């Protein structure tokens, strides 16, 4: 992972933790313009020690040495599972793929409008093993709502962040985050290249025939983060863990 990729990982983590709502807000809090922040994240301007220090003080759990050299882990707390895999999983499972689980970061399927709780994350930042099915996952979050029939309300979604938006696949399910809401929807092209259309798979209607969960467009420039849904994890009665991939 390059130094720029590590910086971007920290920025994305700060947004997930709701330390800031967007890269623009992060730039303002660090004393940079949005344009200068963009140049740094795109590798057009060399990283400075001043920038690294300002970024690290946004959250004291950030490992400055990891930002500088890539050594160790991004988060320095000793309580994180990823730092002590032998204690949590046993020696035979040290090579398990662990992904960050943001238990207080939720996405809505749109059961009650498009809103999802995007307030500050209160629970500790954890890592979980979601099984061999989701080896490409980059994070896991909670999902609530009934508009996406594939995903039980309260399940954990295994997601993969999409960095190159040209690679978005129409007809697949994504978690889309804007400054106002976070939703899980099936994505199709919008009326032009400036937007995408978000669809629900629940086709229930009102008495007049209108869809309860109507499609809606999201401007690309309003999308802070978009992640492909790889599948979900639920705990069934009896304590068994069940993994599912979208149909």
Distance CA 2, CA 128 (A): 25
> According to the model, what pLDDT value does residue 78 have?
41
Q: How many CB atoms lie within 10 A of CB 60?
A: 8
Give me 161's structure tokens.
């962040």
Tell me what the mean pLDDT of segment 70-92 comes to.
49
Give me 194's structure tokens.
């400036």
pLDDT class for 176, splitting at 50, 70, 90?
very high
> According to the model, what pLDDT value does residue 83 have?
31
Distance CA 111, CA 50 (A): 45
Question: Given a cut of 70, is residue 110 above it in pLDDT?
Answer: no
The separation between CA 134 and the C-alpha centre of its own chain, rounded to angstroms, equals: 15
Tell me what the mean pLDDT of segment 163-183 comes to.
90
Q: What is the percent of the chain with per-residue pLDDT over 70, rounded to a whole number?
A: 72
25, 27, 32, 35: CA torsion to nearest 10: -100
Strands 98-108 and 139-144, by their bridges, are: parallel
Element spanning 6, H or E:
helix 3-16
DSSP state of 146: S
Q: Is 155 helix (H, G, I), strand (E, B) or coil?
A: coil
Question: Given a cut of 60, is residue 215 above it in pLDDT?
Answer: yes
Tell me the backbone φ, ψ of residue 234, rounded to 5 degrees: -135, 155
Closest CA relative to residue 80, chosen from 56, 105, 63? 63
**Domains of the chain with CATH codes:** 3-69 (1.10.260), 82-244 (2.10.109.10)
Query: 């080896």: which residue's tokens?
Result: 135
> According to the model, what pLDDT value does residue 63 have?
85
pLDDT tens-digit readout, 182-209: 899 999 999 999 999 999 999 999 999 9
Residues in the chain: 247
Contact 153, 109 (CB under 8 A): yes
Closest CA relative to residue 37, chosen from 73, 11, 74? 11
Q: What is the percent of the chain with per-residue pLDDT over 90, rounded to a whole number?
A: 23
Distance CA 14, CA 75 (A): 11
Element spanning 103, H or E:
strand 98-108
Question: Given a cut of 60, is residue 74 above it in pLDDT?
Answer: yes
Give me 189's structure tokens.
């092209």
């Amino acid at each position: 992972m390059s130094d720029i990729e590590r910086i971007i990982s920290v920025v994305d983590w700060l947004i997930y933790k709701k330390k800031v709502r967007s890269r623009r807000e992060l730039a303002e809090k660090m004393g940079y313009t949005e344009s200068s922040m963009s140049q740094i994240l795109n590798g057009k301007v060399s990283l400075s020690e001043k920038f690294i220090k300002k970024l690290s003080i946004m959250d004291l759990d950030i490992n400055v040495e990891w930002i500088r050299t890539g050594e160790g882990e991004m988060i320095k707390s000793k309580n994180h599972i990823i730092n002590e895999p032998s204690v949590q999983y046993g020696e035979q499972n040290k090579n398990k793929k662990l992904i960050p689980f943001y238990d207080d970061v939720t996405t809505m399927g749109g059961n009650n409008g498009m809103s999802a709780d995007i307030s500050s994350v209160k629970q500790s930042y954890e890592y979980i093993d979601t099984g061999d099915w989701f080896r490409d996952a980059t994070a896991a979050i909670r999902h609530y709502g009934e508009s996406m029939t594939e995903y039980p309300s309260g399940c954990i979604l295994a997601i993969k962040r999409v960095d190159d938006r040209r690679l978005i696949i129409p007809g697949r399910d994504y978690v889309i985050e804007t400054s106002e809401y976070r939703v899980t929807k099936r994505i199709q092209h919008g009326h032009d290249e400036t937007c995408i259309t978000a669809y629900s798979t629940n086709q229930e209607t009102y008495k007049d025939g209108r869809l309860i969960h109507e499609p809606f467009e999201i401007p690309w420039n309003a999308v802070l983060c978009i992640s492909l849904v790889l599948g979900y994890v639920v705990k069934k009665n009896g304590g068994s863990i069940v993994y599912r991939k979208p149909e």
